[in-house]
Amino acid sequence: MNPNDCRPIIHFTPSYGWMNDPNGLVWHDGIYELYYQSNPNALYWGDLSWGHARSRDLLHWEDVGTVMLPDETGLMFSGSGILSRPGDAGEEDAVLCFPYTAAGRDPSAEGTAPGGYRPHFTIRLAKSTDGGNTLIKTGREILKPYAPDNRDPKIFYHEESRAYIIVLWLTQDIFGIYRSEDLGFFELASTVKLEGGFECPDLFRLPLYDESGTLLPERPWVFWAADGSYYLGEFDGFTFRETGHRKRSSIGPLPYAAQTFSGDPKGRVISISWLRTKTILDVYTGAMSLPWELSLQKTPAGPMLCRSLPSEVLHAEEALKLSGEEALLPEDGALSIHTALQKGLSLRFINTSGDECLLLREESGQLFASSQSTGEYIRAYGQEEISSALFVYDRGILEMTFADGLFYTVLDFPHLRSEKISRIICSSSDGTTRISVIR
């Protein structure tokens, strides 16, 4: 079988090898750059490098290849990207800059520490003067290590205090906030302890909407951790002060280590996660999620993070009309399904052989997904809470949001990667289901 026939259509996967955390997400000159941790030599974690993909529409990705390889400083762990201001980073013009983690070892501990070594991670800087095609390591550390394995610098520019900010995981549930005015050396401004937080931090402001969808003047800050935990608070360029308890933005183990794009031309906050999917045909392991635009929604429980598909994805939809209860589908394309999550809703996915290969069914306020002998219950929410559902199905990967984007989860059915869906049979009490193809 051709491996490309077993790839998702709109979820990025590497040409070969292992992938995990998205890194260096940055927009410039009409291009969205996506770098990612990669083992280009095998299907498992190891020999970590940075792979590279790019897109002009957040939907169709070109796999560019490997751009940073391990060296004497260690493996290439996670980092981020930003377009500098002219004159910063030691360059006359604006350049793409990438703080990253070099995951090295402490040579003084060889043979004495558990496993024969002790970590010694350093945060370093790479630059690109050719539009992101080539990343050149500057060879210098840009901040003083706080702990042996501190990692995952996420950078942004804070206009109010006129400084570049790096948020960094330090140790346990402690994160650091670092500052530099010119992308030179970053000084530690403060630390913050976030209960349950762990690695891959991000810090950004989001628009806030009320229950009717009206944009409010407040723009709260959100501190993000790898498992999708987020913390609302205030940030002045030096210190993050948490104003709410830890919340979860997703349900289930598949999405991890999300990162937001720097420099989106529309000012949006767009996030992509690593999906921990299984090895397919001994060709690749892992996938990236769809891009999701983030905002905050006021609820009785306080502001909650909300996801929606970016306009680029929605513009790529080709709406299909249901013929009675059935929609006939073209041979290729991912599917988006918007529906009211009513009692008794069922969606039956039929392959080109006429067999049912996936079933989504509402049962007592829960959504049940089953595929042949595989079944999994999605966490239950009361009918009063869930007024809508969005399913995006892409060759076995199923991303779902509920309650207008307030709840999010991902399921994966690897054995359906090669199945072609020809029909969907829908049973819904109010007939509002809309099915579209995303190309």
Show the domains of the chain with their CATH numbers: 3-312 (2.115.10.20), 316-438 (2.60.120.560)
Residue 1 has pLDDT above 70, yes or no: no
> For residues 225 and 78, what is the distance between their CA atoms, to the nearest angstrom?
13
Q: What is the DSSP string of 5-54?
A: GGS-SSS---SSEEEEEEEEEEEETTEEEEEEEEETT-SSS-S-EEEEEE
Q: Which helix (H) or strand (E) holds 422?
A: strand 421-427
DSSP, residue by residue, 176-223: EEEEESSSSPPEEEEEEE-TT--SS-EEEE--EE-TTSPBPS---EEE
Q: How many angstroms separate the CA atoms of 329 and 437, rounded?
A: 8
Burial 228-250 (b: 16+ CB within 10 A, else e): bbbbbbebeeeebebeeebbebb
Identified catalytic residue from 21, 88, 202, 412: 21
Q: Which three-class secondary structure state does DSSP give residue 297?
A: strand
Can you give the pLDDT at residue 388?
83
Residues 6+ apart with CB under 8 A from 214: none
Q: Is 21 a catalytic residue?
A: yes
For 109-163, the pLDDT digits (tens) are 555 555 556 899 999 999 999 999 999 999 999 999 999 999 999 999 999 999 9
DSSP, collapsed to helix, strand or coil, labels residue 61 as coil
| Residue 81, pLDDT score | 98
How far apart CA 121 and CA 79 sit, in angstroms, is 12
For range 277-295, the mean pLDDT: 95
Q: What is the pTM of this model?
A: 0.94
Residue percentage of the chain with pLDDT more than 90? 71
pLDDT value, residue 378 = 58
72-92 pLDDT per residue, tens = 999 999 999 999 999 999 999
* pLDDT bracket for residue 380 (50, 70, 90): very low
